[in-house]
Homo-oligomer: A and B are copies of this chain.
Amino acid sequence: MTHDDRTARPPQQERAIRTRRRILECAAALFDMHGYSATTVEDITKEAEVTRGALYHHFRHKQAVAAAILEAQFEGMTVPPQALRMQELVDAGYLLVYGLRIDPLQRGAARLTMEQGADPVDRTRVMQLWIDFVVSILSEARKQGELRPDVDVDRASRYFVAAFAGVQNMSQAFTNRQDLDEYMTDMWRYTLPAIVSDDAMGKLMVAPERGAQLARHGVVLAS
């Protein structure tokens, strides 16, 4: 969420918020580059140019930094409401893709979620949050008759989240996510027809440039 009540805050509090944000962004960049295990608290304090005391004022340990990055990624996901509920899912996907390209927090969170080695980080919790997010949209879509009758909402939602994780991982490996919007479009093109009714399919807008378009219209992307 963005805050427009900054003027109401005392300067110290504002500084603390900025410092916390800087720690998160620098830690996310390091996690993205080197992974969770290979990044130390000292690496983070150096990168963020803060003292150990400042870091420990905000976070109890490295694990708490990682948890905050994962929370921030999720909190930032707000999509404009649409008459066609499946459009909200498509938009959320493109916004996430856009965020992954411009926001270090999103990139760090993506690697934390994917990395088998980041065991102290509860990545299943984040996966579950994403699955719940998709379930809520698909459940509404079902009520509106946008889904094919044989679709299992829970399993389809789980599949969407899993496939997206794989898609962003491959795009990261090949082009450092520069073509992730194309991958996203392929995912919609080769998955939605099996899930969405023909009528709703005919109304859906699926296009690589949608993330940037939505972002330009003032949609919040990240915390």
Give A residues with C-beta under 8 Å from B: 32, 34-35, 37-38, 111, 114-117, 123-124, 127, 151, 155-156, 158-159, 161-167, 169-174, 182-183, 186-187, 189-195
Contacts and interface: CB of A to CB of B under 8 A. Distances in A.
Q: How many chain copies does the complex carry?
A: 2
Nearest to A151: B190
A40 to B, nearest CB: 14
A23 B87 CA distance: 50
A190 B114 contact: no
The dominant DSSP class at the A interface is helix
A208 to B, nearest CB: 12
Given A156-B186, A169-B169, 5 more contacts: A159-B190, A162-B170, A165-B166, A190-B194, A192-B194
Contacts of A35: 35, 37, 115-117
A38 B182 CA distance: 33
13 contacts: A35-B37, A35-B117, A37-B37, A114-B169, A127-B173, A151-B190, A159-B186, A159-B190, A165-B166, A165-B169, A166-B169, A190-B195, A192-B194
